[in-house]
Amino acid sequence: MLEKSFSNLPDLVGYYGIGEFSGIRLIGSVDQSVLPYDRIRISQVGVKNNKLDLEFSKIEVKRLK
């Protein structure tokens, strides 16, 4: 996750972020807990108003003990 922001637009209320995947930057919705520099994945892909609608989720990194 490169950046994260909150939208107050009536149809788009929520958190959105810019993710980078193999050098390609995409905008998608994110959960409130996702922070900049977290590792993310594309968890859902859809079409809304003839536009691509992406949702990102955080990749949990498991640490070895």
The closest of 24, 44, 34, 32 to 1, measured between CA atoms, is 34
pLDDT tens string, the chain, 65 residues long: the values are: 999 999 998 888 999 999 999 999 999 999 999 999 999 999 999 998 899 999 999 998 887 77
- For 16, list phi and psi in degrees, rounded to 5: -135, 150
Torsions phi, psi for 49 (to 5 deg)? 55, 45
What is the predicted pLDDT for the residue at 14? Answer: 94
pTM of the model: 0.83
